[in-house]
Amino acid sequence: MEAAMSEQSLSTPVVIATPNTRKVFVKTYGCQMNVYDSERMTDALSKDGYQATDVLEEADLVLLNTCHIREKAAEKVYSELGRLRDMKKARAKDGREMVIGVTGCVAQAEGKEILRRAPAVDLVIGPQTYHRLPDALRRAKGGERVVETDYALEDKFEHLPAPEKAKTRARGVTAFLTVQEGCDKFCTFCVVPYTRGSEVSRPVSQIVAEAERLVDGGVREITLLGQNVNAWHGIGPDGTEWGLGDLLYRLAEIEGLARLRYTTSHPRDMDDRLVEAHRDLPALMPYLHLPVQSGSDRILKAMNRRHTAAEYIALIERIRAIQPELAISGDFIVGFPGETDQDFEDTMRLIETVGYAQAFSFKYSIRPGTPGAEMDGHVDEAVKSERLERLQALLFRQQREFARTCIGKEIDLLLEKPGRMPGQLVGRSPWLQPVNVDAKTSEIGDIIRVRITDAGPNSLFAEAIR
């Protein structure tokens, strides 16, 4: 999985519950797909009377939805489980139950080892089996310590209940929608093929139906998710093989759906139809997250990326030729085994050539079980740190320069949430930056015309055009 399905730690939004309602607290680590998975898990549990809470102390059920993309991810989970163990013991003394579950990619990678190292854990559920969560929970309450980490033969999405309209409205006017899972690329630094499995694409009809339900619930912007989202493919209503571009054209027809985005992509899967969608679809935002990881052909080959730096640059130039407003985001890894000073300078040269609106960058970290872990030539940590500092300084300068080019532009802004100041609302620009605007006469969900007036380090400021 590309690193830039950005790392975060979130708890599920609070839902007001009646006094006797059982409550579930979900702590979400990692990428947007985990955020989506957490929401679907709470949907699956709602039929059993569970409602989400953002107050840990209220919870009868605590789920840690984990990410394995970064080094020491599992250790962070075990540290959290230690705190939960103490809380569970204290609750038991008061005659109150607390069930603890670990879900997501660490659950998939560690499996039964979690039960051995953390006896307070009642159930372990991998990302391909969370539709079985209600049944696993019933078994755990019966005294069984449950591990569900096989790759399910059934389609989990077919077994998940559709979220209630009121719950969709409570989650806001933007939404994630997973359309593809797993990866067949086997980049040598990446654990995703081992934790999420092979590439699987959801059917067109299933995706369209979920998108229509989201829009009916008040959603105005949908971001399509996949570990390798532009590898999505399926049979369309006309009986032909569709790619992600065809799917975007179909979703753009949904009345009330104002904006579309997608992440995360692989350069080898940007076909002509998807490129054309950036030209033809006003709803498709002019923003593309396209990881490259390195600018050195030698390192790209060692990473098994199966493209060259020149091919990557040519692809971006082709898309920009038909969509001049396109902003590019990327991922970079410094210090991959065998990376020389010259390899690193090749990466810096690629960054200068492309010009990024934003990017995510990391020092290479060993992921057990991946080919990279067994390679010779591991780079000294001090060298990695120095290279990362230089690379991030360049990327930050480019981000600031891109933000400054936005000043004076007029854009349509989807208002998503309240700002910090009275009367202020926040949306995101077409290029994904937060935009703060004084909009006392507007409401969340409105799309208003604004003019960008200033640019901060991480956000823009605008005035409404009346």
The total domain count for the chain is 3
Answer whether residue 440 shows pLDDT above 90: no
> CA-to-CA distance for 58 and 11, rounded, in angstroms?
13
User: What is the Cα–Cα distance from 70 to 85, expressed in whole angstroms?
Assistant: 24
Query: What is the helix (H) or strand (E) element at residue 427, kind and residue range?
Result: strand 424-428
Domain assignment present for residue 4? The answer is no
Is residue 213, in this structure, part of any structural domain at all? yes
More confident residue, 274 or 237: 274
Task: Establish if 236 belongs to a structural domain.
Answer: yes
* Residue 269 to residue 45: CA distance in whole angstroms: 36
CATH number at residue 177: 3.30.750.210
User: Is residue 364, in this structure, part of any structural domain at all?
Assistant: no
Contact (CB, 8 A) for 378 and 334: no
pLDDT at 102 over 80: yes
Summarize pLDDT for 359-387 with one digit per residue, the tens.
Answer: 999 999 998 889 999 999 999 999 999 99
More confident residue, 47 or 247: 247
Q: How far apart are CA 314 and CA 320, in angstroms?
A: 10
Higher pLDDT, residue 13 or 95:
95
Last residue of a domain, one of 253, 285, 317: 285
Same structural domain, 119 and 179: no
168-189 pLDDT, tens digit each: 667 799 999 999 999 999 999 9
DSSP state of 293: B
DSSP 131: G
pLDDT in tens, 55-99: 999 999 999 999 877 667 778 888 999 999 999 999 888 888 999
Q: What is the pLDDT of residues 143-162, one digit of tens each?
A: 999 999 887 655 667 767 66
- pLDDT score at 266: 97
Check whether 10 has a pLDDT greater than 50: no
Look up residue 356 and give its two tokens: 């990024």
CB 423 within 8 A of CB 183: no
Q: Contact at 8 Å (CB) between 121 and 80?
A: no
User: Are 168 and 230 part of one and the same domain?
Assistant: yes
| pLDDT at residue number 71 | 65
Is residue 313 over pLDDT 60? yes
**pLDDT of amino acid 228:** 95
For residue 214, the surrounding DSSP H or E stretch is helix 204-216
Residue 227 has pLDDT above 70, yes or no: yes
With a cut of 60, say whether residue 4 has pLDDT above it: no
Q: Same domain, yes or no, for 143 and 235?
A: no
Under the banding of pLDDT at 50, 70 and 90, the label for residue 47 is confident
pLDDT tens digits, one per residue of 373-427: 999 999 999 999 999 999 999 999 999 999 999 999 999 999 999 999 888 999 9
pLDDT at position 209 is 94
Question: Is the pLDDT score of 27 beyond 90?
Answer: yes
How, if at all, do strands 9-11 and 241-243 pair?
unpaired
CB atoms within 10 A of CB 373: 15
When the pLDDT of each residue in the chain is averaged and rounded to a whole number, the result is: 90
175 vs 197: CA distance, rounded Å = 24
Q: What's the first-to-final CA gap in the chain, in angstroms?
A: 44
In angstroms, how far is CA 149 from the centroid of its own chain? 21
Which residues participate in the annotated binding site?
Answer: 31, 67, 105, 183, 187, 190
pLDDT tens column, 332-356:
999 999 999 999 999 999 999 999 9
Integer Cα distance of 440 and 425 in angstroms: 8
d(CA 35, CA 14): 14
Question: Would you say 188 and 375 are in contact if contact means Cβ atoms under 8 Å apart?
Answer: yes
Separation in Å, CA 348 to CA 16, 57, 192, 355: 50, 48, 27, 11
Average pLDDT score over residue span 10-27: 61
Instruction: State the Cα–Cα distance between residues 214 and 167, nearest whole angstrom.
Output: 10
pLDDT band at 21; cut points 50, 70, 90: confident
* 39, 99: one domain: yes
**Is the sign of the CA dihedral 355, 360, 362, 367 positive or negative?**
negative
Closest by alpha carbon to 431, among 348, 333, 356, 377? 356
Annotation: binding site for [4Fe-4S] cluster: 31, 67, 105, 183, 187, 190
Which of the listed residues 285, 305, 328 is the one where a domain comes to its end? 285
Is a pLDDT exceeding 80 seen at residue 321? Answer: yes
Who has greater pLDDT, 285 or 169?
Answer: 285
CATH number for 133: 3.40.50.12160
Q: Is the pLDDT of residue 19 over 50?
A: no
Can you give the pLDDT at residue 375? 96
Clarify whether residues 231 and 190 are in a common domain: yes
> In terms of domains, do 87 and 36 share one?
yes
Can you read off the two tokens belonging to residue 375? Answer: 């390679």
225 inside domain? yes
Q: What is the pLDDT of residue 8?
A: 39
Beta sheet of 287-289, edge-to-edge order: 287-289, 327-334, 358-363
Residue 431 per-residue DSSP state: T
Quick one: average pLDDT of 293-299?
98
pLDDT at 33 over 50: yes
pLDDT level of residue 6 (50, 70, 90 thresholds): very low
CA 355 to chain centre: 23
Q: What is the mean pLDDT of residues 158-167?
A: 68
52, 110: one domain: yes
Phi and psi at residue 404, to the nearest 5°:
-65, -30
**253 assigned to some structural domain:** yes
Residues 140, 194: one domain? no
For the four alpha carbons of 241, 247, 249 and 254, in that order, the dihedral sign comes to positive
Look at residue 13 and tell me whether its pLDDT is greater than 60.
Answer: no
Residues 19 and 135 in one domain: yes
Residues 180 and 113 reside in one and the same domain: no
pLDDT of residue 139: 93
CA distance 24 to 397: 42
Q: Which of 231, 252, 285 is the last residue of a domain?
A: 285
pLDDT at 281 exceeding the cut of 70: yes
More confident residue, 447 or 196: 447
Q: Would 71 be classed as within a structural domain?
A: yes
| CATH number assigned to the domain comprising residue 415 | 2.40.50.140
Answer yes or no: is 69 within a domain: yes
CB 423 within 8 A of CB 440: yes
| Residue showing tokens 């975007």 | 248
Domain extent at residue 96:
9-148
Q: Which residue has the higher pLDDT, 286 or 52?
A: 286
Q: How confident is the model at residue 31 (pLDDT cuts 50, 70, 90)?
A: confident
Predicted local confidence at residue 15, as pLDDT: 39
Same domain flag for 84 and 21:
yes
- Asked if 32 and 68 sit in the same domain, the reply is yes
C-alpha distances in angstroms, 35 versus 10, 12, 40, 49, 450?
8, 8, 9, 21, 30
